[in-house]
A and B are shown apart, each in its own frame.
Chain A
Amino acid sequence: MKTIIHMIATLSIIGIVAGGLLAGVNGWATPLIEANKKAETEKAIFLVNPEGKSYEAVANAGFQIYKVYSDSKSLIGYSLVYEGNGFQGKIRVMLGLSEDMKKLTMYEVLEQSETPGLGTKILEDPFKKQFNGLVAEPNVEWVKGKAPSKQNEIQTITGATISSKAIVAIINNALEKARSLKEKGTL
């Protein structure tokens, strides 16, 4: 009986002390972590719309989408976060659109778990540059093993076709969503 009480008492005391300590640290860290997340999103918003100076989040869109404004407060485009399946896991992308939603400005991968050295080439310039100013009308198409001939085409990465196609699919889905929002007048 005595050992049982001893056991319960020790574990309770350790639990209470640990809980109290963690509550304190958590109280200090939470605002900092929130601020970090916000700064990261902000950086990505302007990265895909480099001429932007201020932004505004669009409420009730169902996903993260931001209106980006220039110096003179005129709308120059949209930055939106969209995700889809890659080769091994989810790919989360921040996509930049021109204000008429016909041109892409750039994309930035926020999260991915593609094969290092192959799939991760979607993070690198030779592939990414193809989306710079790409006309996405009616949507983005991909070609394999040859140079793109139409203005809405991009060439997939050798050895990472699935990852390349995943990026194209994410962008097309995002475009469709954003355009339907625009038609409804939410944007």
Chain B
Amino acid sequence: MKKGSLTHEYVKGLWEINPIFKQILGTCPTLAVTVSVMNGIAMALATTFVLVFSSLFISLVRKLIPSQVRIAAYIVIIASFVTITDLVMKAQFPALSKSLGPFIPLIVVNCIILGRAEAFASKNTPFRSVLDALGNGTGFLIALILMSGIREILGSRTFLGMQVLPNGFEPWTIMILPAGAFLTFGLLMGFSNAYMERKKRLEREDAINKYRKSSVTLKEQEA
């Protein structure tokens, strides 16, 4: 996976620049809708749809838009796709649309979409932009499933509506309240940072050890 290769454009969104844990964008829907896994998946899919199509269109017209009005143009493009998503969901999946409430229309101001448009789609070819959007969308999906999985299991004993913890387990109501969202988010981010730190430290120590060994062997040869 070289930097700049097509696979890397997709894979980087999963972890390396994960929109939630690394770029820390789009935290508002993350905190609000992750009370159940179903909500999390629906939110992530809706966002990915908007992200892919806005990235594609913004990348297609990137050379035609004067830079002074680019943000306005991006917002119009993004808002159109969000409204389409909202209408389609209301028409085809009314129950889901009801449980996500105002968070579908609010995708318009989700920073992941504007962030990717400004940071990537406005500077890259349409194909690469779509890969980048898909990668970031998948990263968002992974983060939302993690968050909502933890909150749903502990807060209402279920995963995707199926009971996974026995009735003897008293549900932690706080997990499905806003406070639970902050707790889960903070702890997850802390663990992921600690893991990355540890990985980096081990790599560094590894490199130092290798260097030491090679210098020792050099000295032995000289002697």
Give residues in A with beta carbon < 8 Å to B. Answer: 3, 6-7, 10-11, 14-15, 18, 21-22, 25-26, 28-29, 32-33, 36, 40, 115-118
B92: nearest chain-A partner, CB-CB:
A32
B83 contacts which chain A residues (CB < 8 A)?
22, 25
Contact indicator B90/A33 (Cβ below 8 Å): yes
Q: Which of B18-52 contact A (CB under 8 A)?
A: 35
Confirm or deny: B76 has a beta carbon within 8 angstroms of a beta carbon on chain A: yes
Give residues in B with beta carbon < 8 Å to A. Answer: 35, 61, 64-66, 68-69, 72-73, 76-77, 79-80, 83-84, 87-88, 90-92, 94, 155-156, 171, 173, 176-177
A14 and B73 in contact, given A3-B66, A29-B90, A29-B91 (Cβ under 8 angstroms): yes
A22 contacts which chain B residues (CB < 8 A)?
80, 83-84
Contact indicator B88/A10 (Cβ below 8 Å): no
Contact indicator B80/A11 (Cβ below 8 Å): no
Contact indicator B69/A7 (Cβ below 8 Å): yes
B61 contacts which chain A residues (CB < 8 A)?
14
B101: nearest chain-A partner, CB-CB:
A113
B171: nearest chain-A partner, CB-CB:
A117
B176 contacts which chain A residues (CB < 8 A)?
116-117
Q: List 25 A-B contacts (CB under 8 A).
A: A10-B73, A11-B73, A14-B61, A14-B73, A14-B76, A15-B76, A21-B80, A22-B80, A29-B88, A29-B90, A29-B91, A32-B91, A32-B92, A33-B87, A33-B91, A36-B90, A36-B91, A116-B35, A116-B155, A116-B173, A116-B176, A117-B173, A117-B176, A117-B177, A118-B173
State A10–B63 Cα separation when bound (angstroms).
11
B65 contacts which chain A residues (CB < 8 A)?
10
Contact indicator B173/A11 (Cβ below 8 Å): no
Contact indicator A10/B76 (Cβ below 8 Å): no
Closest 9 CB pairs of A and B: A117-B173, A32-B91, A29-B87, A18-B80, A29-B91, A36-B94, A116-B176, A7-B69, A33-B90
A11 and B69 in contact, given A18-B77, A22-B84, A118-B173 (Cβ under 8 angstroms): yes
State A117–B170 Cα separation when bound (angstroms).
11
State A10–B90 Cα separation when bound (angstroms).
31
A11 and B177 in contact, given A22-B84, A117-B171 (Cβ under 8 angstroms): no
A40 contacts which chain B residues (CB < 8 A)?
94
B73 contacts which chain A residues (CB < 8 A)?
10-11, 14
* B127, chain A: closest CB distance, angstroms: 22
Contact indicator B87/A25 (Cβ below 8 Å): yes
Contact indicator A18/B76 (Cβ below 8 Å): yes
State A22–B177 Cα separation when bound (angstroms).
36
State A10–B74 Cα separation when bound (angstroms).
12
B156 contacts which chain A residues (CB < 8 A)?
117
* B160, chain A: closest CB distance, angstroms: 17
B69 contacts which chain A residues (CB < 8 A)?
7, 10-11
* A39, chain B: closest CB distance, angstroms: 9
B66 contacts which chain A residues (CB < 8 A)?
3, 6-7, 10
State A15–B87 Cα separation when bound (angstroms).
19
State A29–B93 Cα separation when bound (angstroms).
12
Contact indicator A26/B87 (Cβ below 8 Å): yes
* B38, chain A: closest CB distance, angstroms: 15
State A7–B173 Cα separation when bound (angstroms).
52
Contact indicator A7/B87 (Cβ below 8 Å): no
B173 contacts which chain A residues (CB < 8 A)?
116-118
State A1–B177 Cα separation when bound (angstroms).
55
Contact indicator B72/A11 (Cβ below 8 Å): yes
B173: nearest chain-A partner, CB-CB:
A117
State A10–B92 Cα separation when bound (angstroms).
34
A116 contacts which chain B residues (CB < 8 A)?
35, 155, 173, 176-177
A6 contacts which chain B residues (CB < 8 A)?
66
